[in-house]
Amino acid sequence: MIASDGVRLAVRTRGRSAADAPTVVCVHGYPDNGSLWDGVAAELEDRYRVVVYDVRGAGESDKPKRKQDYRLDQLAADLAAVVDAVSPDAKVHLLAHDWGAIQTWHAVTGGALRGRIASYTSISGPSLDHAGAWFRSLLRPSPRALGTLLYQALHSWYIGFFHLPLIPELAWRSGIMRRVIGRLDPAEKGAATADGVHGLQLYRANIGSRLGSPATAGTEIPVQVLAPAGDAFVSTPMQTEIGRWVRDLRVRIIPGTHWVARSRPHVVANAAAELIDHAEGGAETRGLRRTRVGATGRFAGHLVVVTGAGSGIGRATALAFAGHGADLVLTDIDPDGRAETARLADELGARVAQYTVDSSDGAAVHAFAADVRDTLGVPDIVVNNAGIGISGSFLDTGEADWQRVIDVNLWGVIHGCRAFAPMLVERGEGGHIVNIASAAAFLPSRMLPAYATTKSAVLTLSECLRAELAEERIGVSAICPGIVRTNITATTRFVGVSEEEEKSKRRRASGLYARRGFGPEKVAADLLRAVERDVAVQPSTPEAKTALVLSRLTPGLLRAAAKRNIGL
């Protein structure tokens, strides 16, 4: 097709027909061409009509030589011409990356596409007007503002370089620029030299004028920003702190690098499809609720799985999440306790699903996780809390007792992590796994060898899994409470004593825990804080925090104390 100034634009269409499916127009950035969207388009074409075009200066489109031919007003006019050509009678949905997103922002916040756009998903490309205002806001002196400004300046080194005469062109023609970009982001498979050279005019024609004199430009259409956490060129704050200009805004910080559309096309396609379907009249998905800017509740729209939710820390955790807007999936082998937790959560406004699952049964846990995924979606947070207590010396602890406590306290956590972690990775939007360990994990005791062993294993497992999943933006936290007022002592197994003596020990332990007065709701508060701040190891209760410090500074002192006969 021919643009308003006579430049020829190469436009390609794939997927369903305009008569029976929404139209999605994809706009690439620099130094790419329309092939950037090949993977995403393949994911979308069964459901939508997908339109991809090479912007002027790239791919098979004409490559004007004059700098003024690359100004944002002309680029927005190009986009409007494409929209009018491919969908003259219906609104379209926009999906744009990098400079494609920059020019699309200019179009949707100006008059070029007024009344023609149903939704917009932006990746790694802020409005230059918004970016200019954002930079100005950082000029107010404060250490945080200065740090943010310097961070983005380091990410934007190339902008000044691209304004130099001749040298950037030489860097492209010699292959140096291609190698530099490949080092910074291996997902970029090697841009064409012509695309790199001609696209330099995008920077030279627009950066100074737009950033120096930003306009007040907003939009009413639904907007979704996908911000790759590992973007080497555009920082997350610059592209996401735009709520004052966009009334209907969602922000998803996703694992990946600048060219996430190439490396994780299914993540981009799924996120875009959720917004498209909602804009077309479909229900607002949990993902859209979770990422809505300004949503009420710290965990609004989050789906949280809590095992062992029938009492104690599990119940308190479930209710804490419910109180902050989350929906819940509760499991417990005690149906009455679980039902009571569900009732209390329902009173707080949470949507609750209940399951009876033995956490020590791997097949049952995997079947449960699959059912949650298929009926409710992939959870955002998984709390592996189910556990049992056991007290008594190593020599008095039989093989069956060892097997039982390992099955529940350790295998229960392993099963939960193995069932849900792959789902979180595949979804590609991060998440969090919380494993309940104990202060016993770093506090040896001659009377808690079996219990402490399992909790130490849970702590180590959590730290190993945290390292493995970090690049997927999936946090893993181990919560290590000390003496907490729960009913764990009422069901704790005391080995090496008679039945009557076991009952007596349970009563004494229950009284001690009750007098301690540290309720499970305080542990739950620490847990929520650990999820928000992505804390690796979160001790809860004063004695747990003290023990953690001593375990690192004076482990010999703890080993000496362990020789004393102190147990549950």
**What gap in Å lies between CA 445 and CA 494, rounded to an integer?**
14
**What gap in Å lies between CA 492 and CA 544, rounded to an integer?**
20
Q: What is the residue type of 156?
A: S
Tokens 């098979």 — which residue? 60
Tokens 């929906």 — which residue? 327
CB neighbourhood size of 354 (10 A): 17
**What gap in Å lies between CA 91 and CA 93, rounded to an integer?**
7
Q: Three-class SS of residue 301?
A: coil
- Per DSSP, the residues of 199-247 read HHHHHHHHHHHHHHS-----B-S-EEEEEETT-SSS-HHHHH--TTTBS
**What gap in Å lies between CA 149 and CA 155, rounded to an integer?**
10
**What gap in Å lies between CA 313 and CA 544, rounded to an integer?**
15
**What gap in Å lies between CA 254 and CA 249, rounded to an integer?**
16
Contact 272/222 with Cβ under 8 angstroms?
no
| Identified catalytic residue from 30, 48, 120, 451 | 451
451 is catalytic: yes
Question: Which tokens belong to 168?
Answer: 């950037």
The separation between CA 15 and the C-alpha centre of its own chain, rounded to angstroms, equals 30
Tokens 């400079």 — which residue? 99
Helix (H) or strand (E) holding 461: helix 449-469
**What gap in Å lies between CA 5 and CA 475, rounded to an integer?**
51
Angle at 83 between CA 82 and CA 85, to 5 degrees: 65
Looking only at the bridges linking them, the beta strands covering 493-494 and 431-436 are unpaired
Q: Which of 254, 409, 382 is nearest to 321 (CA)?
A: 382
Angle at 546 between CA 542 and CA 548, to 5 degrees: 120
Q: Three-class SS of residue 522?
A: helix
Looking only at the bridges linking them, the beta strands covering 431-436 and 381-384 are parallel
Q: Which of 529, 537, 540, 443 is nearest to 483 (CA)?
A: 540
Half-sphere exposure of 279 (CA within 13 A, CB side): 28
Q: Three-class SS of residue 23?
A: strand
Contact 52/41 with Cβ under 8 angstroms?
yes
Question: Which tokens belong to 175?
Answer: 């292959």
Counting every residue written for the chain, the total comes to 568
Contact 488/562 with Cβ under 8 angstroms?
no
Sign of the CA dihedral with 493 first, then 495, 499, and 501 last: negative
Q: Which of 219, 75, 213, 241 is nearest to 152 (CA)?
A: 241
Which residues form the catalytic set?
451
